[in-house]
Structure 1
Amino acid sequence: MSKIPCTSSFEESSGDLSDDSEDDSDDDEEEIQEDFLPLPPILPPDLDVEDPLVIDDWGFSAIATSVYQYAEDVLRKVWMNISWTVCHFHTLPQWLQDNDYILHGYRPPLQSFKRCLHSIFSVHTETGNIWTHLLGCIAFFGVGVFFLSYPTPELSHVDKAVFAAFFIGACFCLGLSAAFHTFLCHSEKAGRLFSKLDYCGISLLITGSFVPWLYYSFYCNFYQKIVYLSVVLVLGLTTVIVSLWPRFGEPKFRFLRAGNFLAFGLSGLVPAFHYAFSNSWALAVSQAGMQWLILMGSLYVIGTMFYALRIPERFWPGKFDIWFQSHQIFHCFVVAAAFVHYHGITEMVQYRVSVGECQFL
């Protein structure tokens, strides 16, 4: 069965992102016919098929096994449409070369959204990156729908709205990340587009995480709450704009990307210290969930360091091509940090409900 080599035999699409859905079925039909003709011989060419004793000696079990294997290949081709093979880092076009410590297992340029989607179920360098955040997105979507739709008379529409900001940010971040790692190999233009969307998703998660924490931490300090929320929204918008810079996604700006999002996340230390010094550490823990905020920030920082320093593959190139590479570890830390933050803000809203409205002297 013919396979698309690493140097793709597709004609260059000059960056066109359209998937030509109208001609897709015809193309697939031609491709399948081309790949499966002629039919490979099931019996040895020198076998006398006229003599039933010869057939019996050769063994019908062997014939059945050969037929089964061929049928399995046909079904795999038709249903999964897998017509490509993984390739080495140095055979990739420059726009697909990102981590030179990951040596083998890359998808070639597929130039088809359908093939990119099918590749989710194949094993390659992006498999772990896709599924870590795809499953995380599904989990947060389910938790968010349950939380927002569950009847809770003690929570107002504003309470639900600030939690919705967090769930939306988490789902967009994880979902756009999974989409980026899925469609990265479509074409250079598609890769750049989804890369920008991926970075915008990170900004949305950071912004959405700040909203409920600031809202409940400064619940009884209206002006401070408005100022901090306004600053966070401005910083989030600024980070989105920087993320849309065409050269932001280039490999040489890896540390700039990590530093940009790290700085945005660490800006939360300002309101955190403000709250702790204005009140006390005991109140910061009991009312503002400071311990969960610190744990969340630590997980983000640790995950970012794995990503920026490309640990562990930089020490053992080629050993973590498929599993446990730095980007997958980073993804796991992001999902864990988001769930830690969710736990923290649920404790904050429980405290707010238990003490009632603010008492002003």
Structure 2
Amino acid sequence: MMGSRYENLIASSETFDYEYGGIVFSKEGKGKRLWKKLKYQLVEYHSLPGYLRDNEFILGYYRSEWPLKQVFLSIFSIHNETLNIWTHLIGFFLFLCLTAYTAVRAPSIMDLYSIQHLHDFVRAADLQKIPKDLMSCLPSLPNVSGLPKLKDITTSLSSGDFISSFSGWNVLEVLNNCLRDRFSYADQTDANVLHGVNMVAPMLIQPVTRWPFFAFLGGAMFCLLASSACHLLSCHSENLSYVMLRLDYAGIAALISTSFYPPVYYSFMCNPFFCYLYLGFITILGIGTMIFSLIPEFQKPRFRVFRTTLFFGMGMSGVAPIIHKLVLYHNKPEAIETAQYEVVMGVLYGLGALIYATRIPERWMPGKFDIAGHSHQLFHVLVVAGAYTHYQAGLIYLRWRDSQGC
């Protein structure tokens, strides 16, 4: 009975050729079309080959050994990896936009921060004792016709209208060209002038280097893109899965390592010894983790907790420079604010790692979170949130060092 059933299926799967009007036509049997359809259906966990078995609490909706064409097209279909792919793919495009925004807009953001410092200065200083040679800077500035008249300068400074007239040109360049020289000839016995110098001098510093910040953004994008590619392509074959998993772990190590670059560099740029000590340590640790990730045994499911602990340990190594920063700059509001962001980032990363390692919530209700809501998806969301929190802290570091230097 069973044999005749398969014989009928094979017979109906044959391709028939026929001729009409000198043209040969080919017609595919219904059974063959049905076989093609069934061949690329989603399967259950117990039907998977060993290298695809990772989470026994996700029971269904797996892709298994599909051709590359179907694998790529599956990015637009529903299966248990769909949200894993898109959570980090959307995160990648988010950080790509943030990188472009930072490259184009960050300098002007820092200029606006400098304007605020100038506004604070003119509000705090005794305007009647500001040196007249400072006012002589005004005719040399662009758009000088839009500035208030000298007789109305006190009112304008107090109201903030004078500061708003600075929009449209580079404050740092103007201050470098004029205010530095004017203050250098000011009467150093005048306490109000000295106060003005102390408040305006930070604005005379050129913008700090951006490479640590862009290194972090690059590491974040590499991690997110590698993760999306891994979840999309690993079901194709064992060899490709082997490669993609290593790329995924390398991306995680890159994200953790480069996340240290902005806080370490901008916190200790005035202390080169500690700056290079911390940067060197985390770089070596990150490279070591990448090399260790190449070991085949490291990929097996029984090392899930060990992998999580290793990456968690990398993250915890950032506690020392944060505490050191707070000791050095305990009176700086920027140090406190960035530390708060970094604590939030650490909590998000740590919570994500804990959820990933414990496989919550699918272990409580196997099969109920196959499509949406399982631990790996929650882990992805928390990683993107943590990286974005770190981006916000990075902007504070740039404003801090651009405006105050060492």
TM-score when scaled to structure 1? 0.74
CA distance in 2, matches of 1:339, 1:150: 17
Unaligned 5+ runs, structure 1: 1-31, 41-76
**Aligned amino acid, residue 323 of structure 1:** A
Match of 2:71 in 1: 116
Match of 2:165 in 1: none
Unaligned 5+ runs, structure 2: 1-25, 112-205
- Does structure 1 residue 125 correspond to structure 2 residue 94? no
Looking at CA atoms only, which structure, 1 or 2, has the larger radius of gyration? 2
1:287 and 1:348 in contact (8 A); partners too: no
Percent same amino acid among aligned pairs? 40
The verdict on how the C-alpha distance between 1:293 and 1:34 changes in structure 2, with shifts beyond 3 A counting, is farther
Aligned-pair CA distance for 1:38: 8.7
Give the number of equivalent residue pairs. 285
2:257 and 2:286 in contact (8 A); partners too: yes
CA distance in 2, matches of 1:204, 1:238: 11
Match of 1:314 in 2: 363
- Does structure 1 residue 251 correspond to structure 2 residue 301? yes
CA distance in 1, matches of 2:83, 2:364: 20
Match of 1:140 in 2: 95
- Does structure 1 residue 104 correspond to structure 2 residue 153? no
User: Which residue of 341, 345, 348 corresponds with 2:397?
Assistant: 348
Match of 2:320 in 1: 270
2:326 and 2:335 in contact (8 A); partners too: no
Task: Classify the secondary structure of the residue corresponding to 2:61.
Answer: strand
User: Which residue of 303, 308, 316 corresponds with 2:352?
Assistant: 303
The verdict on how the C-alpha distance between 1:284 and 1:249 changes in structure 2, with shifts beyond 3 A counting, is farther
**Aligned amino acid, residue 304 of structure 1:** A
1:133 and 1:175 in contact (8 A); partners too: yes
- Name the structure with the higher helix share: 2
Aligned-pair CA distance for 1:271: 1.0
**Aligned amino acid, residue 322 of structure 1:** I
Residues 13-36 of structure 1: CA deviation (Å, up to 9, x unaligned): xxxxxxxxxxxxxxxxxxx97576
Aligned-pair CA distance for 1:284: 7.0
- Does structure 1 residue 93 correspond to structure 2 residue 66? no
CA distance in 2, matches of 1:303, 1:284: 29
Aligned-pair CA distance for 1:300: 0.4
TM-score when scaled to structure 2? 0.66
CA distance in 2, matches of 1:36, 1:208: 55
Residues 21-72 of structure 1: CA deviation (Å, up to 9, x unaligned): xxxxxxxxxxx975768999xxxxxxxxxxxxxxxxxxxxxxxxxxxxxxxx
User: Which residue of 253, 267, 292 corresponds with 1:203?
Assistant: 253
CA distance in 2, matches of 1:287, 1:278: 11
The verdict on how the C-alpha distance between 1:33 and 1:341 changes in structure 2, with shifts beyond 3 A counting, is farther
CA RMSD of aligned residues (A): 2.5
The verdict on how the C-alpha distance between 1:275 and 1:89 changes in structure 2, with shifts beyond 3 A counting, is same
1:300 and 1:334 in contact (8 A); partners too: yes
CA distance in 2, matches of 1:210, 1:129: 26
CA distance in 1, matches of 2:374, 2:29: 34
2:99 and 2:214 in contact (8 A); partners too: yes
2:334 and 2:396 in contact (8 A); partners too: no
Match of 2:11 in 1: none
User: RCO (CA 8 Å, sep 6+): is it higher in 1 or 2?
Assistant: 2
2:325 and 2:335 in contact (8 A); partners too: no
Residues 84-127 of structure 1: CA deviation (Å, up to 9, x unaligned): 111110011111111000001111211x3222111111111101
- Does structure 1 residue 220 correspond to structure 2 residue 270? yes
2:233 and 2:240 in contact (8 A); partners too: yes
